Amino acid sequence: MKITSNFDSGNIEFVSIDVKKNAFKLKIRKDTNSDFLQWFHFRLTGAADRRCKLAIINAGKTTYPIGWKNYQACASYDREEWFRVPTTFRNGILTIDFKPSHNSVYFAYFAPYSYERHLDMIHEAQLSPDVSMEVIGKTFLGRDIEMLQIGKPRKNKKVIWVIARQHPGESMAEWFIEGMLSRLLDEDDPVSRRLLKEAVFYVVPNMNIDGSIAGNLRSSASGANLNREWQKPTKKYSPEVYFVRNKMDETGMNLILDVHGDEGLPYNFIAASEGIPGYDEYLATMETRFIGHWMETSPDFQDTHKYPLDHFGEANMTLCTNAMAHRFGCLALTIEMPFKDNADLPDKEYGWSDKRSRLLGASVLNPVLHVIKDLR
């Protein structure tokens, strides 16, 4: 029996094995140049029909230990279908107790979204007559940062930005983008047709490519938490934000959606910009309308369980949505999906999943259409 993780977005360290008991001790390694840790993704081979105990012994020392409460790990035999496996968290140790029925099985914190799939998505999208793909800069390690422009810019059209995966371990964010894009590029979808008449979209499906490949939870390869870099991004430390923000300055914006995953809460929810200086009646009304319409059109979305609201003037202005709401005076929303499940509509077998993230991504176009005419 062997454990490996030296592949795209792999993360685990082998500590020891008790061969008689099929019991492994493992450790999650820290993000590149930073102390964050939580994402794991590894492969177990040679264990078909043997009941194994995989104990992640430093789970209690991860960034969000609350994330392991009522959490079930994801596993896959074919790297397409990710199902949940029995998992417990006791005394700081996360233990997966599982008898694989095949000789190779992958485990991950959430269904991984690979770099190859990322490139496939970008290239499939660019075949659409509505799309133009642009490399707008390079990551810390020199990889291309891709942006998709959807629809032709025209005077009086609204400008809508959607970015995802500033935090690379939040792979559900890129599944969300995949679902949103496939609907937006569906020429038969009436919502998408109307949206592309009214707006041009700029989409960055993966803000943190280096961190995704490295198997990080929150950091880029330089060690930056990109969602704390929006006030003063630098070409040297946070080029991913630097280049994207420059592009935003070029295009302007009337709406931005920044897509994330949350370790603790088993719900989909939105965090808005109520704490920024200059927050006004317009932003409050638009947030309420957007959230209300999304709840009406997708039972997977809710507004009861969410982050505590910021007090006026006390927002963290280094966050993307706060910084952009302030910079452009526009509606700016952080979308959070769970790693665990949606407790309002639980699914024992799969929990919150890649598929459900895609569907939620497609559904977000409804509230966008609902508010589009009034975006300032």
Q: Which residues bind Zn ion (CB under 5 A)?
A: 167, 170, 260
Least Å from the CB of residue 319 to Zn ion: 10
> H or E element: which one contains 230?
none
Catalytic residues: 336
Output 158 or 167, the one with its CB closest to Zn ion.
167
Least Å from the CB of residue 178 to Zn ion: 18
Dist. CA 71–CA 85, nearest whole Å:
10
Dist. CA 147–CA 247, nearest whole Å:
10
Give 67's contacts (C-beta < 8 A, 6+ positions apart): 38, 263, 264, 339, 340
Least Å from the CB of residue 167 to Zn ion: 3
Output 146 or 263, the one with its CB closest to Zn ion.
263
Amino acid at 346: P
Query: Cα separations (Å) of 126 from 119, 122, 130, 137, 150?
Result: 11, 6, 8, 18, 9
Query: Cα separations (Å) of 222 from 211, 216, 232, 240?
Result: 9, 11, 15, 11
Least Å from the CB of residue 170 to Zn ion: 5
Comparing CA positions, the residue from 158, 136, 132 lying closest to residue 146 is 136
Least Å from the CB of residue 340 to Zn ion: 15
> H or E element: which one contains 192?
helix 190-198
Please give the structure tokens belonging to residue 332: 């700016």
Residue 135 dihedral angles phi and psi, to the nearest 5°? -90, 115
Please give the structure tokens belonging to residue 255: 């709406």
